[in-house]
Amino acid sequence: MNKSERQIAPELHAAIPAAGFSRRMGKPKLLMPIEGKALIEHLIDHLQHPSIGSISILVRAEDNALRRCLQTTNATVVFAETPTRNMRESVEHLFNAIEQTVNRNKPRGMLLIPADHPFVASDVLNSLVSQWLTSPDRIVVPIHQERRGHPVIFPWDVISRLDEIPADSGLNWLGKEMAHLVQEVAVDDPSIHWDIDTPDDFRRISAFVQNRLK
């Protein structure tokens, strides 16, 4: 990074893979309501941050209900015309879409978070973003009780190496291959480990979010 680049504030682009089928839930989990809002709307609300320049979400082309829900948000919808087989393929779709719109003269990163992770505490987000702004060449990962969670921030030149991941590996390969770049941020919040796959997950997290919103 040269001197002129350091004078430009780095910018994050949030990426949300949401092209799954909610098979374990038995119905479209991202549209399930908590306090009058769909799960996916809560996630997008929690990602509003001055350093996040855009929010992109990958949606199956035929998922009209989710597309309609997202019309009231500031997220950019990216369509998966064919089913994605795994998280890596979903992130590749999102990376390619974001790459077409970003300012390439500006230091940037991708904040990656699964769509079924509806609650991101503001203090957690602030801590991760602050750490990344200080060290924009690092992979920033939250950790709670010795377990890593979400969201994860990738520098652009790291996430751009998706095509180097072996066919039998996932996104974790990037962190292992570039372990020297990983910066863990300790947080006092178990929600970094949560996702919603089953009705029991939904009831537990719904009660937590409702209490936080009171």
The CATH number of residue 193's host domain is 3.90.550.10
Total structural domains in the chain? 1
For residue 186, tell me if it sits in a domain.
Answer: yes
Please report the pLDDT score of residue 7 as a whole number. 53
- Does any domain span residue 2? no
Domain that holds residue 140: 10-213
Residue 164 lies in a domain: yes
Reported pTM: 0.90
User: H-helix or E-strand containing 12?
Assistant: strand 11-18
Task: Print pLDDT tens along the chain (214 aa).
Answer: 444 444 566 789 999 999 877 666 767 889 999 888 999 999 999 999 999 999 999 999 999 999 999 999 999 999 987 778 888 899 999 999 999 887 666 668 999 999 988 789 999 999 999 999 999 999 999 999 999 999 999 999 999 999 999 988 989 999 999 999 999 999 999 889 988 888 888 888 888 777 766 5
In this structure, is residue 113 part of a structural domain?
yes
Residue 148 lies in a domain: yes
**Is residue 162 one of the residues assigned to a domain?**
yes
1 within a domain of the structure (yes/no)? no
Which tokens in the block code for residue 111?
């904040």
With respect to residue 187, please indicate whether it lies within any of the assigned structural domains. yes
27: Cβ contacts below 8 Å, ≥ 6 apart: none
